[in-house]
Structure formats: C-alpha cells, structure tokens
Amino acid sequence: MQMQTCFLVAVHSVLGFYHRFLRITLALMDFPSTIRFIAQASEVSCGFILLGYVSRIFNILGLILILFFTLKIYRISHPNSKALKHFPPYYPPPRSPPAPAPAPAPAPAPKIHHAVDADIPKPSSRKKSQMEDALDDKEDHVEDEVFDVMALRNLVKFERQRFSAACAEIENERIAAASAAEEAMAMILRLQNEKSAIEIQANQFRRMMDQKQDYDNEVIDNLRWSIVHHENQKSLLEEQLAIYREKLRQI
C-alpha cells in the first residue's frame, strides 16, 4: 500500500510538472515574435518547430521521470533485489534507541520508586529489541534470497523448456529438410534415367535413319543405272529401226 501511494504521488508530481511546462510553452507560443524566431531557426536548420515535436518531447520526458521515480521506489521497497545491483544501495537510517525517561523527583514512599524503576527502559531490554530487529531483518533477507532462488529456478526451468522446444523444432526442420533432399535426389535420379533412356532412343532412331538413308541412296543409284541402261538400249533400237527403214526404202 505504501509503495502504491508513493507511485501515485510520483505520477501526480510528474503530470503536474508536465502540465505547468505545457502551459508556459503555450503562453510563449502566443507571441508572434516567438513563432517568427522558431520559424527562422527551422529554416536555417538551427532549431525545430515546437508545434510538431513538443508533445513527443514532453511525453518522452514524462516517461523518463516516471521510470526514474518507479525505480527509486522499487529500490527503496526491495533493497536486496538482484535486478538493481548496479544502482547504489539504499540503507535505511539506523533506529535510534528510545530516549530514557527523565529522572523523577525522590519520594519517601518505596512503592513510587518501584514504579519509576519499571518505567525506565533497561539496557538489556534495548539490546533485546535491537537483536529482535536484526533477526527480523535477517529473516527478511533470507526470505528475499529464497524468493530470488525460486524465481531463478523458475526462469531456468522456463529457459530449459524453451530450449527443448527449440531443439524439437530444429529436429523437425532437419527431418523435413532431409526428406526434401531425399525427394530431390530421387527426382534427379529419375530425370537422369529418363534422359539416358531418351538419349538411347534418339541414338537408335538416328542409326535407323542413317541405315534407311543409305538404303535409299543405293536404290536411287540402281534406278539411275537402270535408266541409263534403258536409254542406251533405246538409242540402239532407234538406230536399228532407222537402218531397217532405209533398207525397206531401197527395196
């Protein structure tokens, strides 16, 4: 409850400072000379237009102040926290021993002396209270250490679970990549087999076409020779026919 109250007080002070600074800035922006100076500074690249950046700057400043007050309050409420070891430690002021009661006036009655002696704190009781305070502080420190150890164990357990999940995911990805590589190799082998089969068929077809072309050339040569032979026979027969015609004319 005390921590929440301090936090609310810090937030209220930061927001009040932000509100006052914003009012002062808006009051300055009402003067034309101020706007002219800011515009000239922005034109020569020596400043910036507050109308566009003032809200962002104030928001950042407010967040920084809130963070500072929060860390300060957390450091005060948790002096043994491991997350704030780099900050200067905060030691609470030592408890002053209770002031001894003023000595009463002497009285003849012995009962009054006994009552006064009972009211004055004895040194042994003060030492006992200091020892109890020290024991309470030590118990608080032990509880904080136990809490820190439990938090560290939970963090280690969480990190181990994350590591196991990451290892399982990596293993699944490795298996998927291996299966994909095997499928790719099988496809490459199948394509190579198909390529070799197509090359064999192409070589056979080329050989068959060469043989057919040779046969066709032989047939063409034979036909040409037959044509030449028939033409020679035709010319001989025509000569004989001409001779026989001459003989018939003579007769």
- Distance, CA of 121 to CA of 123 (rounded, Å): 7
pLDDT digit string, tens, across residues 104-138:
444 444 444 444 344 444 445 666 666 666 666 66
Q: d(Cα 217, Cα 212) in Å, to the nearest integer?
A: 9
What are the sequence ranges of the domains in the chain? Answer: 1-90
> 219-231, pLDDT tens digit by residue?
999 999 999 999 9
Q: Is the pTM of this model over 0.85?
A: no
For 78-100, write each residue's pLDDT tens digit. Answer: 555 544 444 444 444 445 444 44
